[in-house]
Structure 1
Amino acid sequence: MTTYDARFRVWRGDAEGGDLRDFTVEVHDGEVVLDIVHRLQATQAPDLAVRWNCKAGKCGSCSAEINGRPRLMCMTRMSVFDRTETVTITPLRAFPVVRDLVTDVSFNYEKARSVPAFVPPAGLAPGEYRMQQVDVERSQEFRKCIECFLCQDTCHVVRDHEENKPAFAGPRFLMRVAELDMHPLDAAEETGLDRKRTAQEEHGLGYCNITKCCTEVCPEGIKITDNALIPLKERAVDRKYDPLVWLGTRIRRRSASDPR
């Protein structure tokens, strides 16, 4: 087994402040950044705070910024770095620091609660739902999300502008709105809930300027921008400005309220 010593700079501190500390840590073949963080805890910094769980790229817990890029520590192999390179690990910048590499991501859970849930069709029990695969393929991709919040962290709308957070849900939850709006059985519109309108007016869809930075950092390879946000923007615009779409929604609404 080949081993070498790598230089690391790790952010240490809490909500009051902190700085980068230098460490030299042994690296073995095939290891990922999270392995090195664990060795650092075991040998030099036992009080280093880090959040992790599955170590398999499926729980999203070990999100951090590695050399300035939001990544999962358990999915970032040391082999991608030059052995002479100093690897810098810092907490997610868009969220408040709790301690060291652990951040307070409660912002995301608040936004999740603000998205209205799936509305089942009237008169159908859960076991009676029937859909063709072709009808669910568009939104099925979005169910791969592991809630790592890397897309939320890299989105400059919240990363660089704290004041936008109250009005902007972020790409992960706009993707959730898009998924529900594409769902072939979602009956939100029949109950008066217009997901396209809420995306625009309540979740800040207009703030997104489709830079695709969220797609670039997604560890599951979800095409957040192309397959969720852009189509949702198109439908929201059609809903508001296309006269034929506008008229069609009024006719459907009137027919639903008048069964004659």
Structure 2
Amino acid sequence: MSTYTAHFRVWRGDADGGGLRDYRVEVHDGEVVLDIIHRLQATQAGDLAVRWNCKAGKCGSCSAEVNGRPRLMCMTRMSVFGRDETITVTPMRTFPVVRDLVTDVSFNYDKAREVPSFVPPEGVAPGEYRMLQEDVERSQEFRKCIECFLCQDTCHVVRDHEENKKAFAGPRFLMRVAELDMHPLDAAEEQGLDRKRSAQDEHGLGYCNITKCCTEVCPEHIKITDNALIPLKERAVDRKYDPLVWLGDKIRRRT
């Protein structure tokens, strides 16, 4: 097993401020950035705060920014960096720092609560749901989300504009709206909830300018922009501006 010493720069501090500190840390073959952070805790910085859980890329806990790119530390192999390269690890920039690499991601849970849940069809019990696999596949991809919030972190609508957070749900939760809108059994519209309109008016769909940065950082390789946000935008525009759709809605309401 080959071993070398890497140069790490890790952000240390809290909500009141902080800065980057330099460390020289031992690296072994096959390790990931989270391994090095743990070794750093064990040997040099016992008070370093970092959030993690599964170390298998499934819990989404160890989100951070490595050399400026939002990543899961447990899925970022040291082999992708040169041995003489300085590796900078900082907390997610979009969310308030709690301490060191730990950020307050409660913004995301607040946004999750604002999205109305699945509305079951009237008169159909849960065990009686019947759906074509073709319909299920449209939104099944979105259920792979591990809620690492890297897409939320990299989205420049909130990353660079704090004032947008109140009006914009972010790609993760617009994807949730799209998933429910595509659900073949969701009866929200029959209950008076227009998910397409709420996506536009309440969750800030219009703020998204489809740069695909959210898709690029997704560790589950979900095509957030192409398969969720763009189709949702198309549906919202059709509902709002298509005269035939508008007329059809009027006729349906009369009947």
Same fold (TM over 0.5): yes
Structure 1 residue 197: Cα displacement: 0.3
Structure 1 residue 218: Cα displacement: 0.1
Percent same amino acid at aligned positions?
A: 88
Q: State how far apart, in whole Å, the 2-side matches of 1:232 and 1:166 are.
A: 20
Partner of 1:151: 151
Q: Which runs of 5+ in 2 are unaligned?
A: none
Structure 1 residue 248: Cα displacement: 1.4
Partner of 1:196: 196
Supply the AA of the counterpart residue of 2:173. Answer: F
Q: State how far apart, in whole Å, the 2-side matches of 1:157 and 1:30 are.
A: 36
Partner of 2:63: 63
SS of residue matched to 1:61: coil
Partner of 2:246: 246
- Matches for 1:88-167 after TM superposition, within 5 Å: 88-167=88-167
Structure 1 residue 247: Cα displacement: 1.3
Structure 1 residue 249: Cα displacement: 1.9
Structure 1 residue 53: Cα displacement: 0.2
Structure 1 residue 251: Cα displacement: 2.1
Structure 1 residue 51: Cα displacement: 0.1
SS of residue matched to 1:94: coil
Q: Which runs of 5+ in 1 are unaligned?
A: 256-260
Between 29-38 and 240-249, report the one with greater CA deviation: 240-249
SS of residue matched to 1:253: helix
Q: State how far apart, in whole Å, the 2-side matches of 1:174 and 1:252 are.
A: 27
Q: State how far apart, in whole Å, the 1-side matches of 2:81 and 2:249 are.
A: 54
Whether 2:25 is the aligned partner of 1:9: answer no
SS of residue matched to 1:12: strand
SS of residue matched to 1:237: helix
- Matches for 1:225-236 after TM superposition, within 5 Å: 225-236=225-236
SS of residue matched to 1:98: strand
Q: State how far apart, in whole Å, the 2-side matches of 1:182 and 1:250 are.
A: 22
Partner of 1:84: 84
Q: State how far apart, in whole Å, the 2-side matches of 1:164 and 1:199 are.
A: 15
Instruction: State the superposition RMSD in angstroms.
Output: 0.5
Supply the AA of the counterpart residue of 1:69. Answer: R
- Alpha-carbon displacement from aligned partner over 1:44-96 (angstroms, at most 9, x marks no partner): 00000000000000000000000000000000000000000000000000000
Moved over 4 A (4+): none
Structure 1 residue 253: Cα displacement: 2.8
SS of residue matched to 1:64: strand
Supply the AA of the counterpart residue of 1:20. Answer: L
